[in-house]
Amino acid sequence: MNADARPVFDFPLRTQLFIDGCWCAPETRQRLPVINPSTEETIAEVDAAGPADVDRAVRAASHAWRAWKQTSGAARAAFLRAIARGVEASAEQLAALQSLNNGKPIAESRIDVGDVVATFDYYAGLAERLDEPGEAIAIPSDRHRAVIRREPAGVVGLIVPWNFPMVTTAWKLAPALAAGCTVVLKPSEFTPLPELALAAIVEQAGLPPGVFNIVTGAGTDVGAALTTHPLIAKVSFTGSTAVGEQVMKAAAQSIKGVSLELGGKSSIVVFADADLDLAVDLVIGGAFFNAGQMCSATSRVLVERPLAQALIARLADRVARTVVGDPFAAAVQMGPLTNRAQHERVQRFIARGKADGASLVVQGQAPDGPGYFVQPTMFVDVPAGSAVWREEIFGPVLCVRSFDTEDEAIATANDTEFGLVASVVTRDAARGQRVAAALQAGVVWINAPQLIFPQTSWGGFKKSSIGRELGPFGLAAFQEIKQVLTAADSD
């Protein structure tokens, strides 16, 4: 597909629920509009599930789990690889659908699709290793043998956000299926189209009916029904900290397992010896990728004072020249925000920053007319108590403060209720490692962009996370541990 072409899809856009192996209408017979954030036009309507539909999906998953948990790891791996190949075969159209519904530039959407493929392939490899016998544990007795087994948790509810459709789903769905769980997925009501397209690929992979189900609809209806359903063994949620608190409270009523990937307010620490060109690239990428709609956005810039003037000048120039517009245009670097509510929220934060006394260095240009576009914005000398410094904005707003010592930089970076990620930019390798060790964050990049590999880990400290995704930790999140102790003379 040409980068400036409007998307034309040669596969049907799914808009129904997928329950027990069938595309079906909800009992509510209600529909939700899906908006193109670049034009504010309605591009589709999807079914809006209610509690009865969630119950139907969960019961289908519960019935399917009886057989699915008995399948071999090799069999599950084959399904996961089939999904990966299906995504590859439709990669360009899935990327276009991502940009149409979410608003991110097409180049970023292509990265997302590649991430989905890599995640399913990675967990296929881990699934195959599940056929190995349980892990023998040395115990202080020659009369007994102890083995640790890892078994599927059961039926899991997956609730995913609108900023990375398909990606966040893959990070949850692939390990859940690999572990032997059955799934009910609730996508965001703002970006259901990419998730439904992925669901169609999952269907084509031939999973048994009920192993995978998707219910679209409002979070107040679908999400609440999932988190309180008695047959759901675990809920994995990615979204805001406020909603995560509600998920945790609801799950506590029936003592469900929970994994939460929540907010962030992360720093990038730039020392005076840093490569200036590299520092500028890392700051811009960390703050404005996906229009800043990332829990990992390193939108708090801490720069050592001798480099501050030069870095601020270079950043201001880059912010002012950022091309904002149609995500399918080749020159565009930043698309719109994904929905109206987020657009209004970011505008309020920018106004708050001005009111708090932060120095507004630049507000870039955004297209006139419709669309949820926001000018990329940069503040300096931001008061430490300002909302733009302390609260997650989830938009293209960059805040800069200076520091004098390494200890001051670490203390300022850690002065937040979040602890998801951080970045360090320095030519001093020892200092890079030392600062990374002192930062209270689940992921730290040193002189590197925000690369995330499925083989590693994702999650943070403090209010940013409970549990981890990706790597073997992501698989373990959907497993229970069983100890089997056997008398030596039982054979």
Q: Do 469 and 340 share a domain, yes or no? A: no
Its domain, for residue 289, covers: 267-453
What distances in angstroms separate CA 403 from CA 93, 154, 276, 360, 386, one per listed residue?
Answer: 46, 50, 17, 19, 17
Instruction: Assess contact for 247 and 260: CB atoms under 8 A.
Output: yes
For the question of residue 92 being annotated catalytic, the response is no
Q: Is the per-residue pLDDT at 454 higher than 90?
A: yes
Higher pLDDT pick, 4 / 89: 89
Structure tokens at 431: 């200092």
- Has residue 10 been placed in a domain? no
- For residue 301, pLDDT over 90 is answered with yes
User: Could you report the per-residue pLDDT of 30-80, keeping only the tens digit for each?
Assistant: 999 999 999 999 999 999 999 999 999 999 999 999 999 999 999 999 999
pLDDT at residue 416 greater than cutoff 50: yes
In which band, very low, low, confident or very high, does the pLDDT at 491 lie, cut at 50, 70 and 90? low
pLDDT of res. 369: 87
Residue 340 CA from chain centroid, whole number: 20
Residue 4 pLDDT > 60: no
Q: What is the pLDDT of residue 2?
A: 42
Does residue 134 surpass a pLDDT of 90?
no
Does residue 1 form part of some domain? no
Q: Which of 128, 189, 203, 261 is catalytic?
A: 261
Q: Are 217 and 325 contained in the same domain?
A: no
DSSP-derived pairing of the beta strands 421-425 and 135-137: unpaired
Q: Tell me if 486 sits within 8 A of 144, measured CB to CB.
A: yes
Segment 178-205 shows an average pLDDT of 97
Q: What is the pLDDT of residue 367?
A: 81
Quickly tell me which residue has 């809920």 as its tokens. 235
- Over the chain, what is the mean pLDDT? 95
Q: Is 189 a catalytic residue?
A: no
The total of other beta-carbon atoms located within 10 Å of residue 210's CB is 26
Whether 239 has a pLDDT exceeding 90, the answer reads: yes
Q: What is the pLDDT of residue 1?
A: 38
The reply to whether 238 and 367 lie within a common domain is: no
CATH assignment of the domain containing 103: 3.40.605.10
Q: Are residues 396 and 280 in the same domain?
A: yes
pLDDT of residue 218: 86
Which of the following is catalytic: 108, 128, 181, 295? 295
d(CA 285, CA 346): 18
Kindly state whether residue 356 falls inside one of the protein's structural domains. yes
Instruction: Tell whether 256 and 271 lie within a shared domain.
Output: no
Both 214 and 278 in one domain: the answer is no
Share of the chain above pLDDT 70, in %: 97
Q: 235 with 309, same domain?
A: no
What are 325-376's pLDDT values in tens digits? 999 999 999 999 999 999 999 999 999 999 999 999 988 667 888 999 999 9
Find the DSSP H helices in 149-207: 167-179, 192-204
Say whether both 157 and 73 belong to one domain: yes
255 located within any domain: yes
Same domain flag for 257 and 388: no
- Residues with Cβ within 8 Å of 465's Cβ and at least 6 positions away in sequence, in order, are 260, 261, 262, 420, 442, 459
**398/340 same-domain check:** yes
The three-state secondary structure class of 345 is helix
Residue 8 — pLDDT band, cuts 50, 70, 90? low
User: What's the pLDDT band for 140 if we cut at 50, 70, 90?
Assistant: very high
Quote the number of domains for the chain: 2
Residue entry with tokens 């990966």:
84
